[in-house]
Chain A
Amino acid sequence: MGGMMGGWKRLSAWAACALMMASPGLAQEKTGVKSGFILPPGSARIVLMRPSVIVGAQSTGGMFEPNADWTDEARRNIDRAIQDIQGQLGNSVAAYDSEAEEAGALSGEYRSLFTSVADSVREYQFFPGNRLPTKKRDKGFDWSIGTDVADLPGLSNADYVLFISTEDHYGSTGRKMLQIFAAMGGVSVPTGLHKGYAGLVDVKTGELVWLNADLQMGGDVRTADGAQKRVGQLFEGFPGRTMPLAQNALPGLAQP
């Protein structure tokens, strides 16, 4: 049984690769930095909001099946990976303390707001074919979640807030089989969703100064190694990073 499953997994992985190669490469950008924004190492106090982590499977019909065990595991793995990468971020990053009951909801609302704004950035600015007139390349990177973010309890000493959210729908065996059979008939069935956002918000202005958003992230967050890879990808192009990674020295939209 196990062997058969493995066989199916290999086969479906092969089919997924074949599909990916067949599809035209979308010139989707992944990173944006506010014009002129630089974050010299050691200059800022950054507070990390509780990461939003959702992990589950994708049924044959495409429904999301939330999985509590995977989500628990992923949350632990991602927390650990963020701790590991901290030394490379060039600035002090402290976890947000949401002990206060009211802050719990408000910070949750800001997490949702951040995800909505990040969705908009991805859809209306990162995808070249779909840019709004006010979000063309020469208009810079101009997004905000509002100045009220400074009112969140516990942010009085912070310069920046860091939001991280990941959502993973792992294609079930049934979904992958459907994909293979559909591919035989020339129909493309997408399988899995691996969405990750990381963004830095200026507490004083509410402006989004850096965003990394990707719908096809790598790294299986259910494993420690995979989570390391995912978090590494999430922080690609982080402005204050001491390790050279993305070409974000120039202001404006960085290339993926």
Chain B
Amino acid sequence: MKRALLALAMALGLPGTGHAETFTLPPFTQAYEPQGVDERGAWMMADEQERLLRSSKFVIRDDGLNHYVRGVFCRTVGQDRCANVRIYVMRMPEFNATMYPNGMMTVWSGLLLRVQSEAELGAVLGHEFGHFEKRHGVFGFKNKRTMSDVMAWIGVAAPQSAGFQYSLLGQVYAFNREQEREADMIGVQYLAASDYPSSAAARVWRRLMAEQDASASARGRKAKHGYAAGYFASHPSELSRATTLEAAAVRYGDEGDEGRAAYAQALREWLPEFLGDQIKRNDFGGSDFILDQLASDGWTGSLLFARAELYSQRGNPRDYVTAAQFYAQAIEKGYAAPKALRGLGLAQLRTQQTEQGKASLRQYLQQSPDASDASLISSLIGN
């Protein structure tokens, strides 16, 4: 809708539609074929990878979820661009999405767990598509090759010039960071041209920084958020990305519905699975932070269960006390899966509530007599 208005405004020669800055997306070439030896080689390797990936066990094949993620992507970058991309939703708990030179994109479940609206998801997917549209893969490869060629010659001709080689190596990373910055800008421009507000893009990085803080603090460390990235960093620092994207969003000044409620609705049935994966990452602070974010509208039974699992996984004696409370609250809130009773019983057994624990485990066995751990659990009950 906003796109149509923008086009209309431009066709009429109006000075603008209240936007501080407007632009048109460049036309997109359909059925682009790779050019030159390097690009064709890169596409060949990506094609081989896609042959394997498309039937990998890590790909989530659920039609509903795939359709939804694709829909968000298409609404962000527009139909013509979206049609050329194959999206694979991967069951991977890290915050990531990847783009291959041949138009294959992977979206990791850890990303879906962390973003909180369609606009935020669109910002990341638009960033990835920016890499594809600008053919960053092949240019990055060429740059790396040129630098490594020069370094090889210097290594032979002037072996004492380690400092110069070091600076060349730094340039490879700097080039990569520059590509990331460019992709960030393209991503936020897609958002500005879409129905989603471009202000969502920066929030992804702000929240990631907060998660890193929480994760570090639980490990007794301090998270560092410098504006400048490290010399060997492949990406700009989160802080500089957030700041730059915020400034861009102010420039575009666009508004729109972020699609928060729709996103929460679409992810509801997947959250328990993705949270389970996240909790197994042994990152107490980070996982607790994510749970807190998800519970901003109140703790549901499913979130309470995940929180109980998080505490019992850390496994200090005091953690079982907390875990038992969360399991009980989850059950109270209607969380019906028998594994809540199992967790409750085991936590109770470990916190001197032997009889209550046995009772909970007995209830667990009644509800799922064929559980794979049934014999183990009965031995704990002792009869």
A contacts, CB < 8 Å to B:
56, 59-63, 65-69, 71, 101-102, 104-106, 108-109, 174, 178, 181-182, 185, 187, 189
* Top 5 A-B pairs, shortest CB-CB distance: A61-B148, A105-B55, A66-B41, A60-B149, A68-B44
The residue from A60, A62, A68, A185 contacting B43, defined by CB atoms under 8 A apart: A68
Pair A187/B156 contact, Cβ less than 8 Å: yes
Pair A60/B152 contact, Cβ less than 8 Å: yes
Task: Specify which chain B residues have a CB less than 8 angstroms from the CB of A61 in the assembled complex.
Answer: 145, 147-152
Once the chains are docked, how many angstroms separate the CA of A68 from the CA of B42? 8
Pair B45/A66 contact, Cβ less than 8 Å: yes
Pair B56/A66 contact, Cβ less than 8 Å: no
Once the chains are docked, how many angstroms separate the CA of A130 from the CA of B51? 36
**Nearest chain A residue, comparing its CB with the CB of B156:** A182
Task: Specify which chain B residues have a CB less than 8 angstroms from the CB of A174 in the assembled complex.
Answer: 149
Q: Shortest CB–CB separation between residue A63 and chain B, in angstroms?
A: 5
Q: Shortest CB–CB separation between residue A54 and chain B, in angstroms?
A: 8
The residue from B52, B149, B157 contacting A108, defined by CB atoms under 8 A apart: B52
Task: Specify which chain B residues have a CB less than 8 angstroms from the CB of A187 in the assembled complex.
Answer: 156
Once the chains are docked, how many angstroms separate the CA of A109 from the CA of B57? 11
Once the chains are docked, how many angstroms separate the CA of A83 from the CA of B56? 31
Pair A181/B148 contact, Cβ less than 8 Å: no
B2: interface (CB < 8 Å): no
Task: Specify which chain A residues have a CB less than 8 angstroms from the CB of B153 in the assembled complex.
Answer: 60, 178
12 A-B pairs within 8 Å (CB atoms) are namely A60-B153, A62-B148, A63-B144, A63-B148, A66-B41, A66-B45, A67-B40, A68-B40, A101-B54, A105-B51, A105-B55, A105-B57
Pair A189/B56 contact, Cβ less than 8 Å: no
B38: interface (CB < 8 Å): yes
Pair A105/B52 contact, Cβ less than 8 Å: yes
B contacts, CB < 8 Å to A:
34, 37-38, 40-45, 51-57, 144-145, 147-153, 156-157
Q: Shortest CB–CB separation between residue A18 and chain B, in angstroms?
A: 17
Once the chains are docked, how many angstroms separate the CA of A178 from the CA of B151? 11
Once the chains are docked, how many angstroms separate the CA of A71 from the CA of B44? 9
Once the chains are docked, how many angstroms separate the CA of A104 from the CA of B370? 35
Q: Shortest CB–CB separation between residue B35 and chain A, in angstroms?
A: 12
**Nearest chain A residue, comparing its CB with the CB of B57:** A105
Task: Specify which chain A residues have a CB less than 8 angstroms from the CB of B156 in the assembled complex.
Answer: 178, 181-182, 185, 187, 189
Task: Specify which chain A residues have a CB less than 8 angstroms from the CB of B38 in the assembled complex.
Answer: 65
Q: Shortest CB–CB separation between residue B164 and chain A, in angstroms?
A: 15
Once the chains are docked, how many angstroms separate the CA of A185 from the CA of B156? 8
Would A65 and B145 be within 8 Å (CB), given that A60-B152, A182-B156 are in contact? yes
Task: Specify which chain A residues have a CB less than 8 angstroms from the CB of B37 in the assembled complex.
Answer: 65, 67-69
Task: Specify which chain B residues have a CB less than 8 angstroms from the CB of A71 in the assembled complex.
Answer: 44
Task: Specify which chain B residues have a CB less than 8 angstroms from the CB of A189 in the assembled complex.
Answer: 152, 156
Once the chains are docked, how many angstroms separate the CA of A31 from the CA of B43? 35
Once the chains are docked, how many angstroms separate the CA of A178 from the CA of B152? 8
Task: Specify which chain B residues have a CB less than 8 angstroms from the CB of A108 in the assembled complex.
Answer: 51-52
Q: Shortest CB–CB separation between residue B139 and chain A, in angstroms?
A: 14
Once the chains are docked, how many angstroms separate the CA of A63 from the CA of B42? 13
Q: Shortest CB–CB separation between residue A206 and chain B, in angstroms?
A: 20
Task: Specify which chain B residues have a CB less than 8 angstroms from the CB of A102 in the assembled complex.
Answer: 55
Q: Shortest CB–CB separation between residue B48 and chain A, in angstroms?
A: 8
Q: Shortest CB–CB separation between residue A103 and chain B, in angstroms?
A: 8
Task: Specify which chain A residues have a CB less than 8 angstroms from the CB of B53 in the assembled complex.
Answer: 105
Pair A67/B152 contact, Cβ less than 8 Å: no
**Nearest chain B residue, comparing its CB with the CB of A181:** B156
Q: Shortest CB–CB separation between residue B55 and chain A, in angstroms?
A: 3
Q: Shortest CB–CB separation between residue A224 and chain B, in angstroms?
A: 21
**Nearest chain B residue, comparing its CB with the CB of A106:** B55
Once the chains are docked, how many angstroms separate the CA of A102 from the CA of B59? 12
Once the chains are docked, how many angstroms separate the CA of A102 from the CA of B56? 8
Once the chains are docked, how many angstroms separate the CA of A109 from the CA of B52? 8
Q: Shortest CB–CB separation between residue A24 and chain B, in angstroms?
A: 22
Task: Specify which chain B residues have a CB less than 8 angstroms from the CB of A101 in the assembled complex.
Answer: 54-55
Q: Shortest CB–CB separation between residue B172 and chain A, in angstroms?
A: 11
Task: Specify which chain B residues have a CB less than 8 angstroms from the CB of A66 in the assembled complex.
Answer: 41-42, 44-45
Q: Shortest CB–CB separation between residue B52 and chain A, in angstroms?
A: 4
Known A59-B149, A61-B147; further 19 A-B contacts with Cβ < 8 A: A59-B148, A60-B152, A61-B145, A61-B150, A63-B145, A65-B145, A66-B42, A67-B40, A68-B40, A68-B41, A69-B40, A102-B55, A104-B51, A104-B55, A105-B57, A178-B153, A185-B156, A187-B156, A189-B156
Once the chains are docked, how many angstroms separate the CA of A109 from the CA of B34? 27
Name which of A68, A71, A105, A178 has the most chain B CB atoms within 10 A of its CB. Answer: A68
Task: Specify which chain B residues have a CB less than 8 angstroms from the CB of A185 in the assembled complex.
Answer: 156
Once the chains are docked, how many angstroms separate the CA of A108 from the CA of B50? 11
Once the chains are docked, how many angstroms separate the CA of A106 from the CA of B56? 8
Q: Shortest CB–CB separation between residue A251 and chain B, in angstroms?
A: 36
Q: Shortest CB–CB separation between residue A194 and chain B, in angstroms?
A: 18
Task: Specify which chain A residues have a CB less than 8 angstroms from the CB of B40 in the assembled complex.
Answer: 67-69
Task: Specify which chain B residues have a CB less than 8 angstroms from the CB of A67 in the assembled complex.
Answer: 37, 40-41
The residue from B34, B41, B150 contacting A56, defined by CB atoms under 8 A apart: B41
Task: Specify which chain A residues have a CB less than 8 angstroms from the CB of B145 in the assembled complex.
Answer: 59, 61, 63, 65
Task: Specify which chain B residues have a CB less than 8 angstroms from the CB of A181 in the assembled complex.
Answer: 156-157
Once the chains are docked, how many angstroms separate the CA of A61 from the CA of B144? 9
Task: Specify which chain A residues have a CB less than 8 angstroms from the CB of B144 in the assembled complex.
Answer: 63
Once the chains are docked, how many angstroms separate the CA of A65 from the CA of B147? 14
Task: Specify which chain A residues have a CB less than 8 angstroms from the CB of B57 in the assembled complex.
Answer: 105
**Nearest chain B residue, comparing its CB with the CB of A185:** B156
Pair A65/B41 contact, Cβ less than 8 Å: yes
**Nearest chain A residue, comparing its CB with the CB of B41:** A66
